[in-house]
Structure 1
């Protein structure tokens, strides 16, 4: 029976890290890229779903079960200040009845790392590294948490960053012209 696999890819200066959500050995995609097994928390799937559907501008994932070599590379990039701003992608890979990849993975969410937190725990089995990754996408620019009203200049600047190929945003300029308009609804 065909299934899907959740893949995550982080492009850091020290190299590209690839993970798949699950346990077991490495997963090799159709292009020969190797994804290491990791465990996402229970609330990760609803967060990923909200991000894919455009309902969330930020995505916060907790990744555990990372091997020590990968954790050390991420820590080194973090210490050098190179992690924030790195590209993070969530992809879905279709699998056939033999758990082999069918086609290329589909990119469902792309963002940039805005924060990274390390938590290491020791137990009888050794050290367990957990990394919390906060990812922002381009829609984060649309949220203003202070409750302030955007000026025309602010609106144009934010529009240029979130959609650089679009024509100049004139939304704030047009709003005052609507005060004399009458809205009739429903219009039978």
Structure 2
């Protein structure tokens, strides 16, 4: 069967409940019988593309038009301190010419919520809830401010704080040894 379109899916695993959202209108049923709720992805589509191509270390995802129950539950979990660290996955669902799912969705980005500001606005007689998800992934441990020098000691300390259950990040352990290296360019005669 030929793939004619794709759906962008977003799964957010809060401690109290898992939310399944898709970039569209109304509910959507997947092959496993799970219901995905329609939401508008207002901001972050370029970041989603980067994340899906494996290039984004952080992701700011704006979800608008979500159900008031989801917004209320997300706010309650945020107040209870259960949102930070929640798992977020972006998936691609291939669809056929009738927009029916073909096969299983493919996970393209996995990260964890760093912050979740929200906003409610009034449009006509309806309240429109918008949730911003500031998501980091494992490569966020290696980010630097502009002009900073990567230090092995600092990187290990940061990884111990952000991910205490794993071994220290050894990404920069060879950096001190590179400080005294001399690079000789080849000479062609």
Supply the distance in 2 between the matched residues of 1:38 and 1:73 (Cα, whole angstroms): 16
* C-alpha contact 1:155 1:172 (8 A) present in aligned 2: no
- Report if aligned partners of 2:84, 2:114 keep a CA contact under 8 Å in 1: yes
1:121 aligns with 2:124: no
Report the CA distance between 1:34 and its aligned residue: 0.8
Q: Which residue of 2 aligns with 1:3?
A: 5
Partner of 1:74, secondary structure, is helix
Q: Unaligned regions of 5+ residues in structure 2, if any?
A: none
> Deviation digits for residues 11-33 of structure 1, max 9, x if unmatched?
0011000100012x211111111
**Deviation string for 1:10-57 (max 9, x for gaps)?**
00011000100012x21111111110000011x432110112223321
What secondary structure is seen at the aligned counterpart in 2 of 1:84?
Answer: coil
TM-score (norm 2): 0.84
Normalising by structure 1, we get a TM-score of 0.85
Q: How many residues align?
A: 183
Partners of 1:142 and 1:187 in 2: how far apart?
A: 38
Q: Which runs of 5+ in 1 are unaligned?
A: none
Deviations 1:66-112 (A, max 9, x none): 11111111111011111011000000001112221111110001100
Query: What CA RMSD, in Å, does the superposition of the two structures yield over aligned residues?
Result: 2.6
